[in-house]
Amino acid sequence: MTRQLTYETAIALDKQDSLASFREEFYLQDNQIYLDGNSLGLLSKRAEKTLHTLIDSWKTLGIDGWTEGNYPWFYLSESLGDKMAQLVGAFEDEVIVTGSTTTNLHQLVATFYKPAGKRTKILADELNFPSDIYALQSQIQQKGFDYQEHLVQVKSADGHTLKEEDIIEAMTDEIALILLPSVLYRSGQILDMKRLTEEARQRGIVIGFDLCHSIGSIPHELSEWGVDFAFWCTYKHLNGGPGSVGSLYVNRKHFGTAPGLAGWFSSKKEKQFDMEHTLTHAEDAGAFQMGTPHVLSLAPLIGSLELFHEAGIEQIRQKSLALTRFMKELMEQELKGEQFVFRNPDQDDRRGGHLYIEHPEAARICRALKDEGVIPDFRTPNGIRLAPVALYNSFEDVWNSVQILKRIMKEELYKKYENKRGVVA
């Protein structure tokens, strides 16, 4: 860092911010700086409005809401998939909004994990979110294999990041399927999805990505890269609300593949209510739905996605990078000697939408921050995640939050708290 950062620096950056007006779209609490959008995004006024619209359609239309009203429920997963496709660089029919992160992972692995001959193993990594690993273990067991032998997890050299070279080296002729995170949930490292997909394709291995920590924060080009499948949640950067419906992507080259886990919403729309006991599955991503859409949990996404289309994912990415860069430099300037260690890659093209900082007193520092009006995210054993979100955080937010943290450290306010996590970290 060569520049001296001041409060005036933050104000000047906010004046130059082309996305500043979107802050007014969100419910921001007085005397609070929300920096946990990588875990749960804030409610927008438009998401609230479309939720009420769907409730009204239930109130006034009853069962006719399935085919009538502003947003007919029967087609809602498909219409939202069309809107979501732009954020992941996909064709509209390759995306469906359905299920949850883990149920969608189960569906996709059940569909594409086809062990045969020497190819019986799944390749993952040791830093991925636990739910993904649990799902892979159970899918391997469902195929009659021992996951301790058939789940290969690439090691991390530093405990925080992964090297693409190590992943590629592990793509042996025993691997049937690869699942990796797009952005590591702890360190915020972005993996080179294009390179990894090319390497997998050269070896004839199906590859998919968990986009939970990248969707709505960074651009993707899934179709151009040739990614086989992907899935994600919608309650983090996409601001869909707690428990909002997840999404999945399946490349067009796999259209016509029967879903590994079938249900009546896997049907072609025109055949679904024929009530036949032989499934005629959809010929696009809709085939990988299972049950009835959770309409009221889909509703906020209608309004939320409007904001992303208006702002543009490229502009969101540029502001996100500027915010995290400013926060990192400011912490380095203001918190010298306080034992904070950054685990994010420094390069812009390798850093996702949040910072991951370690400190021996991380849990109690997070508790102190909350009591002082700054909402962080703690990750055991000693990690603090901070996510200044492009659509509703400002550079002034970043300045003020770092000054609050500086005071907490200087006055040792954190020492009045226990150094352990809460029920939900």
Flag whether 293 is marked binding: no
Give every residue of the chain whose pLDDT is below 50, as ranges.
none
Domains 7-31+312-410 and 49-310 share a fold: no
Terminus-to-terminus CA distance in the chain, angstroms? 32
Question: Between 395-410 and 313-334, two packed helices, what is the crossing angle to 10 degrees?
Answer: 30
Cα–Cα distance measured from residue 393 to residue 324, given in angstroms and rounded to the nearest whole number:
11
- Consult the annotation and say whether 264 binds a ligand: yes
Whole-number pLDDT of residue 87: 98
Beta strands 229-232 and 206-210: pairing type? parallel
pLDDT at 425: 64
- Helices 395-410 and 7-15 sit at what angle, rounded to 10 degrees? 160
- In terms of Cβ atoms closer than 10 Å to its own Cβ (0-12, 13-18, 19+), residue 3 is exposed
Residues contacting residue 397 through CB under 8 Å, at least 6 positions apart: 33, 35, 388
Nearest of 214, 187, 221 to residue 38 by alpha carbon: 214
CA dihedral 180, 184, 190, 191 (to 10 degrees): -30
What is the CATH topology of the domain spanning 49-310? Aspartate Aminotransferase; domain 2 (3.40.640)
Cis peptide before 219, with omega less than 30 degrees from 0? Answer: no
Domain ranges (residues) in the chain: 7-31+312-410, 49-310
Looking at residue 3, what is its pLDDT? 80
Q: What are phi and psi of 40, to 5 degrees?
A: -150, 115
Q: What are phi and psi of 208, to 5 degrees?
A: -135, 165
The overall pTM is greater than 0.95? yes
Please check if 101 is assigned to a binding site: yes
- Does 52 appear as a known binding residue? no
To the question of whether residue 235 is assigned a binding role by annotation, the answer is yes
Which phi and psi angles does 274 have, rounded to 5°?
A: -75, -20
CATH of 7-31+312-410 among 3.40.50.300, 3.90.1150.10, 3.40.640.10, 1.10.101.10: 3.90.1150.10
| Contacting residues for 193 by C-beta, under 8 A, at least 6 apart | 182, 209, 220, 222, 225, 227
